[in-house]
Structure 1
Amino acid sequence: MRTKYLSVKQPIGDFYITSLEASVLAKIADATARGEHPDAVQREQSKNRIKEISEYCSDTDATFPTPVIISIDMNSNVRLDEDFIYFDENDIIGDVIDGQHRLEGLKKSSYINDFQLPVVFMFNLEPYQKAYVFSIINSKQTKVNMSLIYDLFALSKTRSPYKTCHEIARALNKESKSPFNRRLKMLGKKENDQELASLSQGTFIKYFLELITKNPDKDSRDIKREITLEDNSNLPLRKYFISEEDPVIHKIIFNLFAAVESVFHREWNDPDNYILSKPIGFGAIIKIFPEIFKVGHDNGDLSQEFFEDVFQKIQSNLVKEVTSANYGSNEQARSKLAADLLQAYNA
């Protein structure tokens, strides 16, 4: 087989950029883990990551724009002329330095034949050079703030759980009577006029999604493919999402937290001393919401007044103050606070 290439000159040496059918690349590239061979550089494969990528391949907008990097075996029969790289597509010709999970995910999907992949061939790398390239690629990446990622869903033309949650977060942050007015750090950091902002959009959406979907990525893909979403869960707001009643979801969340602000006014408006409006408090309220929702839904009442009655009962029976000293600031603290809130509600 032959493929055209572009040559790139850099201090480590020349390398060659081309594109190959994913099905071909999967046959010619090996991804041996470090624990399996002393000269190997790859980490152990993550089954969850491979599964995620395999499912992602079904997205109608799926893309893998970054190249898979292959170190060509010095003893392989790969050769170059001025225009083409030649190799036997039935032989393993090199090791994957970067991109093993993409390849494995594609192999496990039903869509591998839909993809060509950009590929970089690097020749004559010593084991220490392979290790250096791998370590630089995987240690110098800057993690993108989740608030920014969620904010970018505003640009999507397609409905998704992420977009719904973002739009509701944005509305609640803007509305003057909202309990979250100017309280959400939409891009992950406070603006100058946000003295009481104690919750990032990223955290808000992370917990909010728990009420709508167990697999937001799958829902997003299914919506693009016009596959009817299933409501086979006990998630309280899912039926409204499926029926595209986002204003109803917005109103319920508004009523819920307006009641929290009304009943726990001091705690909600003093994030320096209390955690109710911080991630742990917000997350705990989301955690107990399904039980509260069931009562209100069965009685046909999800008004702010209904939720105020709920939180007044909680306030009367809650033993501990909602502070970090009493609960901490991790996911375990969220569960602990949620358990105490439910106990106070059911007392």
Structure 2
Amino acid sequence: MKSLKVLKVNQPIGEFYIGAIDSRELIDIATVDVREFEKGNPAKIDGIQRDLSKSRLSSLREYVNLDYATFPTSIILAIDERCVELRAVEGCEGLMQLDVVGYSGSGEDGDAEIPIEASAFIIDGQHRLAGLMDRDHSKGPFEVNVSIFVGADVADQAEIFSRVNLAQTKVNKSLMYDLLDYAKESSPYKMAHDVVVALNRDAEGPFHKKIKRLGKRTPGVDGETIAQATMVSGLLRHLPRNQEKERSKSIWGRTSQAEPGETWRERIFVDFYRKEDALSVLLCVSNYFEAISERWPDAWHSNEQGQILSKTTGYNAFIRFLKDAYLHIVNAPRVVEKDEFLLVLKKIDLRDEDFNSEIYLPGGSGAGKLYRDLIAQAFS
């Protein structure tokens, strides 16, 4: 038997109960029902849950062991009413005790047994719970808050699942990165964000008033061509690989601690990050794109439809090429000057008018083609 204290909530769909339970106890009683073709009957599809995402699960397994890990939103459960015993807690108005007991089955009506280890069906939260299976509980307990629907049929379960997932609006990545202004801990995300904000504010720099800070145009500012999230994501390829682990290390004052096998030749700004030297990253990036704007001034400053150099396609190609140019110039980590970058860029025969969306299609394919052209011409 698993027991927890709960409160009853009344909403239009009906009543449910909210409470908290140790993740290990929930794992012991939880099950999922993935939507798939019924075995032996390919014409019929059954179940309501999606397949577990391997990439998401891998990330969550690592996350649950970080020092600041949290799952503040409820895992939503459905439990057959035959598997539940509810009673009021004396002296605590509104508080109830919910016991999950399983169901032994009935010989009279042919009901199947429901073992306690399969009594709680997960409507929403299967990835979080699966990630918690790899939690190192020597670090302490990891309770999760739960919303429990007792006696909800499959139609109600499907309705809850679809509404929870369809009604949610994904947070704009630029807004998410911008909120890092409030972060106290160092992290690659934080450093990349700070560099991008500084680039946008530098009145003499190549990105002044070109960056859409919240993923949308700033009121009263014309000529913004690239989203803040795009800029941050590009810089992250040159900073330490394990973003969440670095944030956790920062909490304990271990930002300077390198990872096994870490090398600046693979992630060119990693040494600057270890020294918390955002200024050197800023100067390298600013000098590099200043050289690009000087090498192809018409394409860089153009806001015409179809011009891509200072937009997402051009940025994604050139921020990737930054590593190749940087490694061609330096023998050890340092700030590279604009004129040094220009020597590399002048080997590239592309003209201003070549940076258009007909030659370099929007999206990853166009950025990939431009990057390959840069490599071929600069180092042939």
TM-score (norm 1): 0.93
1:79 paired with 2:64, answer no
Which residue number corresponds to residue 318 of structure 2? 285
Q: CA RMSD in A?
A: 2.1
Using the TM superposition, name which of 110-119 and 189-198 deviates more. 110-119
Question: In 2, Cα distance between the equivalents of 1:81 and 1:338?
Answer: 66
Whether contact under 8 Å (1:34, 1:42) holds in the other structure is yes
Are the structure 2 counterparts of residues 301 and 243 from structure 1 closer, same or farther at C-alpha, using a change threshold of 3 Å? closer
Instruction: Specify the structure having the higher radius of gyration (Cα).
Output: 2
Which residue number corresponds to residue 276 of structure 2? 244
1:215 paired with 2:235, answer no
Letter in 1 for 2:126: Q
Whether contact under 8 Å (1:169, 1:205) holds in the other structure is yes
How big is each residue's C-alpha offset from its partner over 1:17-60, in whole Å with a ceiling of 9 and x where there is no partner?
A: 11111111111111121227665311111122111111111222
Structure 1 gaps of 5+ residues are none
Using the TM superposition, name which of 131-140 and 106-115 deviates more. 106-115
Letter in 1 for 2:4: T
Using the TM superposition, name which of 30-39 and 80-89 deviates more. 30-39
1:23 paired with 2:55, answer no
Using the TM superposition, name which of 210-219 and 247-256 deviates more. 210-219
**Structure 1 residue 320: deviation in Å?**
7.3
Matches within 5 A, 1:15-164: 15-35=16-36, 40-76=47-83, 78-82=84-88, 83-88=96-101, 91-111=117-137, 113-164=140-191
Letter in 2 for 1:85: L
SS of the aligned residue for 1:324 comes to coil
Are the structure 2 counterparts of residues 19 and 317 from structure 1 closer, same or farther at C-alpha, using a change threshold of 3 Å? closer
Letter in 1 for 2:134: K
How big is each residue's C-alpha offset from its partner over 1:291-314, in whole Å with a ceiling of 9 and x where there is no partner?
A: 110122139771111112222221
Are the structure 2 counterparts of residues 317 and 86 from structure 1 closer, same or farther at C-alpha, using a change threshold of 3 Å? closer
Question: In 2, Cα distance between the equivalents of 1:192 and 1:41?
Answer: 44
Whether contact under 8 Å (1:39, 1:127) holds in the other structure is no
SS of the aligned residue for 1:69 comes to strand
How big is each residue's C-alpha offset from its partner over 1:289-342, in whole Å with a ceiling of 9 and x where there is no partner?
A: 11110122139771111112222221x356970100111011111110011112
Question: In 2, Cα distance between the equivalents of 1:19 and 1:40?
Answer: 26
**Structure 1 residue 189: deviation in Å?**
0.9
Letter in 2 for 1:145: N
Question: In 2, Cα distance between the equivalents of 1:247 and 1:293?
Answer: 17
1:177 paired with 2:207, answer no
SS of the aligned residue for 2:326 comes to helix
**Structure 1 residue 113: deviation in Å?**
4.8
Question: In 2, Cα distance between the equivalents of 1:226 and 1:95?
Answer: 41
Which of 256, 272, 291 is equivalent to 1:259?
Answer: 291
Question: In 2, Cα distance between the equivalents of 1:193 and 1:139?
Answer: 34
Whether contact under 8 Å (1:60, 1:225) holds in the other structure is no
Letter in 2 for 1:131: A
Question: In 2, Cα distance between the equivalents of 1:160 and 1:93?
Answer: 41
Question: In 2, Cα distance between the equivalents of 1:88 and 1:267?
Answer: 69
Letter in 2 for 1:106: L
How big is each residue's C-alpha offset from its partner over 1:146-192, in whole Å with a ceiling of 9 and x where there is no partner?
A: 00000111101111101101111111101110100111111111113
Letter in 2 for 1:264: W
1:334 paired with 2:367, answer yes
Question: In 1, Cα distance between the equivalents of 2:150 and 2:220?
Answer: 55
TM-score (norm 2): 0.86
Query: Which is helix-richer, 1 or 2?
Result: 1
1:188 paired with 2:215, answer yes
Question: In 1, Cα distance between the equivalents of 2:350 and 2:272?
Answer: 32
How big is each residue's C-alpha offset from its partner over 1:232-251, in whole Å with a ceiling of 9 and x where there is no partner?
A: 24111111111212111111
**Structure 1 residue 13: deviation in Å?**
1.4
Which of 258, 262, 282 is equivalent to 1:232?
Answer: 262
Structure 2 gaps of 5+ residues are 39-44, 89-95, 103-115
1:4 paired with 2:30, answer no
SS of the aligned residue for 1:313 comes to coil
Whether contact under 8 Å (2:30, 2:121) holds in the other structure is yes
Whether contact under 8 Å (2:239, 2:269) holds in the other structure is yes
Identity %: 29
Question: In 1, Cα distance between the equivalents of 2:73 and 2:180?
Answer: 21
Which of 320, 341, 345 is equivalent to 1:307?
Answer: 341
